[in-house]
């Protein structure tokens, strides 16, 4: 049997996973004893796997996560108050399917951004759209967009993202435009999409950041309602892993 025409047809149809699997199976003598249905099942499985991988890669590129973090590499040994059971439950992504949110607080260096990115990476694997933004840079981008007519389009794009990661919230107080930006985002996403917010400040000080009691009540009511919380403690993990810290420990 001439397989080249079949391979060419598969590629022409965009079935590159099936084409690759066809060549591999044809090169294996033991595969020639398989039934037609078994061949087809293996070809389809390869095609589906390749398409899932391509979707993940596209979502990961679009997410622009700050860290190349994966949940399998999470450090539960560090003394920072990370609940393994809660984190692994969040890694299942059911909270995203149910449109809940997650608030991660703790001092600098305890891994807030890393954990958020690890959950974002897993969400990409689960075929959710993800967008990562450092809050100060997002405010700056929205301020520019407000002047050149892109503001509404950016808000719409943020609103339809399955998981929005807002990293490094605070400690500077918000101005009027920034309060509006936050309110618009939270209103658009409330009970429709999921949001991760990380901050060095404890939750009870977020009113100070918003700096408007009325809007603070509205924003925090929607943001905190049905949100999971991870409150980290302890010293910076960067300090613990620094060369000097290692030398001191060995001395």
SS3 labels along the chain: CCCHHHHHHHHHCCCHHHHHHHHHHHCCHHHHHCCHHHHHHHHHHHHHHHHHHHHHHHHHHHHCCCCCCCHHHCCCCCCCCCCHHHHHHHHCCHHHHCCCEEEEECCCCCCHHHHHHHHHHHHHHCCCCEEEEEHHHHHHHHHHHHHHCCHHHHHHHHHCCCEEEEEEECCCCCCHHHHHHHHHHHHHHCCCCEEEEEECCCHHHHHHHHCCHHHHHHHHHHHHCCEEEEECCCCCHHHHHCHHHHHHHHC
End-to-end CA distance of the chain: 71
Give pLDDT tens digits for 174-219. 999 999 999 999 999 999 999 999 999 999 999 999 999 999 999 9
Asked if residue 144 has pLDDT above 70, the reply is yes
> Omega before 171 cis (within 30°)?
yes
Give pLDDT tens digits for 147-180. 999 999 999 999 999 999 999 998 889 999 999 9
Asked if residue 243 has pLDDT above 60, the reply is no
d(CA 113, CA 131): 13
Give pLDDT tens digits for 87-139. 999 999 999 999 999 999 999 989 999 999 999 999 999 999 999 999 999 99
Return the closest-CA partner of residue 130 out of 160, 105, 99, 89.
160
178, 199 Cβ separation under 8 angstroms:
no
pLDDT of residue 251: 29
pLDDT of residue 247: 41
More confident residue, 190 or 241: 190
pLDDT of residue 1: 54
pTM above 0.85, yes or no: no
Query: What percent of the chain clears pLDDT 70, i.e. is strictly above it?
Result: 91
**Which range, 32-36, 59-63, 78-82, is most confident?**
59-63
d(CA 214, CA 249): 50
Q: Average model confidence (pLDDT) for the chain? A: 88
d(CA 37, CA 205): 62
Per-residue confidence band for 33, with pLDDT thresholds at 50, 70 and 90: low
CA 154, 139, 211, 112 dihedral sign is positive
């Amino acid at each position: 049997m001439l397989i080249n025409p079949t391979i060419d047809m598969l590629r022409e149809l965009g079935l590159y996973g099936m084409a690759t699997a066809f060549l591999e199976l044809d090169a294996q003598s033991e595969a020639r004893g398989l039934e037609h249905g078994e061949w087809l099942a293996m070809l389809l499985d390869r095609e589906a796997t390749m398409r899932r991988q391509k979707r993940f890669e596209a979502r990961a590129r679009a997410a622009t996560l700050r860290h190349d973090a994966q949940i399998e590499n999470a450090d539960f040994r560090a003394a920072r108050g990370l609940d393994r059971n809660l984190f692994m439950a969040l890694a299942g992504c059911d909270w995203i399917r149910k449109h809940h949110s997650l608030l991660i607080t703790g001092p600098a260096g305890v891994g807030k951004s890393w954990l958020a990115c690890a959950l974002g990476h897993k969400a990409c694997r689960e075929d959710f759209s993800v967008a990562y933004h450092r809050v100060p840079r997002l405010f700056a981008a929205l301020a520019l967009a407000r002047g050149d007519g892109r503001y509404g389009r950016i808000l719409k794009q943020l609103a339809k993202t399955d998981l929005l990661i807002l990293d490094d919230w605070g400690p500077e107080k918000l101005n009027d435009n920034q309060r509006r930006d936050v309110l618009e985002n939270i209103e658009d996403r409330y009970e429709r999409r999921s949001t991760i917010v990380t901050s060095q400040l404890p939750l009870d000080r977020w009113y100070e950041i918003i700096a408007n009691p009325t809007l603070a009540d509205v924003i925090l009511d929607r943001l905190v309602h049905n949100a999971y919380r991870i409150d980290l403690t302890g010293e910076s993990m960067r300090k613990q892993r620094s060369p000097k810290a290692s030398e001191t420990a060995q001395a």
